[in-house]
Amino acid sequence: MGNSPPTPPDDITSKQIQTILAGWGKQHFRPFPWRTPLKEWHGLIAEILLQRTRAANVIPVYQIFIQRFPLPQQLGMASVEEIENIIRPLGLHWRAPLLKKLGQKLSENDGCVPHDEQALNSLPGVGAYVTAAFLSLHAGVRSIIIDSNIVRFVGRLSDCLVDGETRRKKWLIAYVEALTPLNDINVFNYALLDFTMEVCTTIPKCDICPLGERYCAYRKRNIAEKTPNECGII
């Protein structure tokens, strides 16, 4: 028998982490173009373009994309070639034919994006992450989001090694579920995205982290071992 998987923090601790992250997020909210009030269609497109791609790199492609395809109908009628050319700087070109199918499928629904989890998840190019991100960030529906940055963050909180499969593990999902508040879902999820993008990064910036050793087992161990962290600052 190996080590048992990490268990989520208790309710009190989870709420404290939520409060700290939400407070941090309010002061460090990043106004990406897809975060300003927008059409749901544009929000869905943004989440797809953001797959495995740093947000800053998506900005110019997103602007061109929604200018060329303001409505799903226009995307559905475009050629795969044209779509592929527009998203080329982002790589993962297999998304081009899926985006065309997405436009066609939404056209059948009057161009409206469904708010049903099953319906979203079955759309071409839309998986667990895009479904949860769209619901929580663009439709006000509480959903937990799990991306590679958030997996890394949970790994740090619990001081557990993670890999590419960790995002599908039950313990990880339960952990994020416990951390995610019942209300103000978009505020918390934006904070979680920004925090994991800017503070709990591949090389963590523990010296500016609002959580620290009280909430982060990785940080606590580094301090206890009196080894310099990966920032090189105590």
Partner DNA sequence: AAGACGGGGAC
Partner DNA sequence: GTCCCAGTCTT
Picked from ligand SF4, DNA, none, the partner binding residue 147 (CB below 5 to 8 A depending on kind) is DNA
Residues 6 or more apart in contact with residue 234 via CB below 8 angstroms: 207, 223, 228
Find the shortest distance in angstroms from Cβ 156 to DNA: 12
Picked from ligand SF4, DNA, none, the partner binding residue 94 (CB below 5 to 8 A depending on kind) is DNA
Secondary structure letter of residue 5 according to DSSP:
P
3-state secondary structure 170-183: HHHHHHHHHHCCCC
Among 9, 13, 28, 35, binds DNA (CB under 7 A): 35
- Taking the least distance from each CB to ligand SF4, the nearer of 40 and 159 is 159
Asked if residue 65 lies in contact with residue 87, where contact means CB atoms within 8 angstroms, the answer is yes
Find the shortest distance in angstroms from Cβ 228 to ligand SF4: 13
Among 37, 81, 156, 173, binds ligand SF4 (CB under 6 A): 156
Site for DNA in 68-87 (CB under 7 A): none
Among 21, 75, 126, 144, binds DNA (CB under 7 A): 126
Q: Contact between 17 and ligand SF4 (CB under 6 A)? A: no
Nearest to 192, CA basis, from 23, 6, 73, 40: 23
Nearest to 133, CA basis, from 143, 121, 123: 143
Find the shortest distance in angstroms from Cβ 84 to DNA: 9
Among 95, 194, 204, 226, binds ligand SF4 (CB under 6 A): 204
Q: Cα(138)–Cα(229) distance, rounded to whole angstroms?
A: 37
Q: Contact between 221 and DNA (CB under 7 A)? A: no
- Taking the least distance from each CB to ligand SF4, the nearer of 42 and 156 is 156
Asked if residue 209 lies in contact with residue 231, where contact means CB atoms within 8 angstroms, the answer is no
Q: Contact between 206 and ligand SF4 (CB under 6 A)? A: yes
Count of beta carbons in the 10 Å neighbourhood of residue 41: 21
Q: What are the DSSP calls for 102-116, one per residue?
A: HHHHHHHTTTPPP--
Count of beta carbons in the 10 Å neighbourhood of residue 161: 7
For binding to DNA (CB under 7 A), which residues are involved? 30, 32, 34-35, 46-47, 50-57, 88-94, 98, 124-131, 133, 147-149, 152, 164-165, 168, 190, 193-194, 196-197, 202-203
